[in-house]
Every structure is written in C-alpha cells, then in structure tokens.
Amino acid sequence: RRTAAVIPAAGRGVRLGPGAPKALRTLGGIPMLVHAVRAMARARAVSLVVVVAPPDGAAEVRTLLDDHALPGTTEVIVVPGGATRQESVRLGLAALPVDVTDVLVHDAARPLVPAETVDAVAAAVRQGAPAVVPALPLADTVKEVEPRSDGGPEAVLGTPERARLRAVQTPQGFDRETLTRAHEKVALEGEGATDDAGMVERLGLPVVAVAGHEQAFKVTRPLDLVLAEAVLARRRA
C-alpha cells in the first residue's frame, strides 16, 4: 500500500486577523505550510504530499516549497484549491497518482503535529480501518445551544456527557476509495461538512479514533500563534 498526504492550504484564515493567507503566516520565521509539509514528510508512512494552494497562488506556493528543504525523499505536488475546504480536498484527491491506496488529509493550520501521530493514523488505515481520526478528550464542558447571531444570550439545550466527547484533529486517514466516494456523495448532495471523517460517517461506514496529540492543535486565533511559537522554541532549545 502507498500513503499520500493531502494538505488543504487554500484558506484565508480570517479569524487569525489581517495579513497573509494563514498557511503563509510564519512560525519561527518559517511559513506554517512548510512546517505542515515537513511534519508529513517526517512520517515514515508518507511518500507523497499534495499541497492544495489558494486558487490563484499555486506558483507562489511551489516557489515557497522549493525554497525550503524537506526531510527525506518525499515528493511534493502543488495544485490550485477551491472556495471551500471540502472542494480543496476534492481537488487534492483528484491529483493523486493511481498507485496511492491510503490518504491522510491534514490541515496546513496544524503545523506542529508530531510524526508519531501521523504514523499512528497511517498504521490504523493500513490495518484496515476505512477512516481514522486522531482525537483528544475535552477539558471544557460542552453545551448545545440555540445559536443567535445578534450577540444576545443563547438558550442552552443540553449538556452531552463530557467523558464521551472527543475533539478531533488532523491528519485524518482514509482508504482512498472510501474518501473519494464520500466526497462525491457530499458534492452531489450539496451539503457542507467541517471534517472529512464526517462525510464517511454519512456513508454509514465506521470511523475510529486513535490518540491525538496536544501539539496537533489548530492555529486559528491570535493566541494560538503565541502557543505555537512557544512549542517551536522549546523544540529548538
């Protein structure tokens, strides 16, 4: 079996504040996307990385990646992305060579995921799971609410039992054919999804969770950049 990683990196990252597209923002002087590609390339299982660039930014991203050394012999392909994360992933899948059997989908916004976590996800797919997510227990209690957009108080509808909840990260791993089918179904039905495994769940196929890692957190808000810089500085020390 051959495992490839698809990295959707076409988002603008508006929640992070004004500036460059999120994947091109730097951590320790190096663009987040380069960290993410290196994290995939360091994993033993991954021999190919497909980077999905902003629709008009594929040439710029290619140059950026050529300017930064990657560990090992991992091949990197760059393709233009789409208007949504889902579309960007679909375009990345379409660029995979025929011999790829297993796919990891990894957010550029999770630049510090350790190689061991990547390999654990890949291993679970190789052992036959059609879909695998890295997941962590929650520190916060979670409430379901009736959402309001006017800033007023929201009615609380319920409190799921925290011990049964997990926050899921990436890379999420898939049997290639399963993920391709899931994306086709969701595209046909015109529905949105916030993660790839959720699309596989809608096919009625089993998804399993393996241990995630605290350093696989998503860089979304300005405070996450502070944390990411600190993690990186500690690694380099």
| Nearer CB in complex with ligand C5P: 37/131 | 37
Question: Closest approach of Cβ 15 to ligand C5P, in Å?
Answer: 7
| Amino acid, single-letter form, for residue 27 | L
d(CA 168, CA 172): 9
Q: Which is nearer to ligand C5P, 11 or 130 (CB)?
A: 11
Report, in Å, the least distance between residue 106 CB and ligand C5P: 8
Q: How far is the CB of 22 from ligand C5P (least distance, A)?
A: 6
> CB-wise, 47 or 84, nearer to ligand C5P?
84
Contact 7, 37 (CB under 8 A): yes
- Length in residues, the chain: 237
**Nearest distance, CB of residue 55 and ligand C5P, angstroms:** 8
Residue in the structure block whose two tokens are 């290196």: 38
DSSP for residue 169 = -
Q: Which residues bind ligand C5P (CB under 6 A)?
A: 8-11, 22-23, 52, 81-85, 88, 107-109, 218, 220
Residue type, position 225, single letter: L
The residue among 82 and 198 lying less far from ligand C5P, judged by its C-beta, is 82
Partner residues linked to 211 by β-bridges: 135
CA triple 75-88-206, angle to 5 deg = 90
Tell me the closest approach of the beta carbon of residue 206 to ligand C5P, in angstroms.
24
In the bound state with ligand C5P, the residue whose beta carbon lies nearer, of 108 and 113, is 108
Helix, strand or coil for residue 47? strand
Give the position of tokens 């990260």.
169
Number of alpha helices (DSSP H) and beta strands (DSSP E) in the chain: 7, 12
Give least dist CB 32 to ligand C5P, A.
8
> Count of CB atoms within 10 A of residue 226's CB?
10
Q: Which is nearer to ligand C5P, 80 or 114 (CB)?
A: 80
Annotate 208-221 with DSSP letters as a single string: EEEE--GGG----S
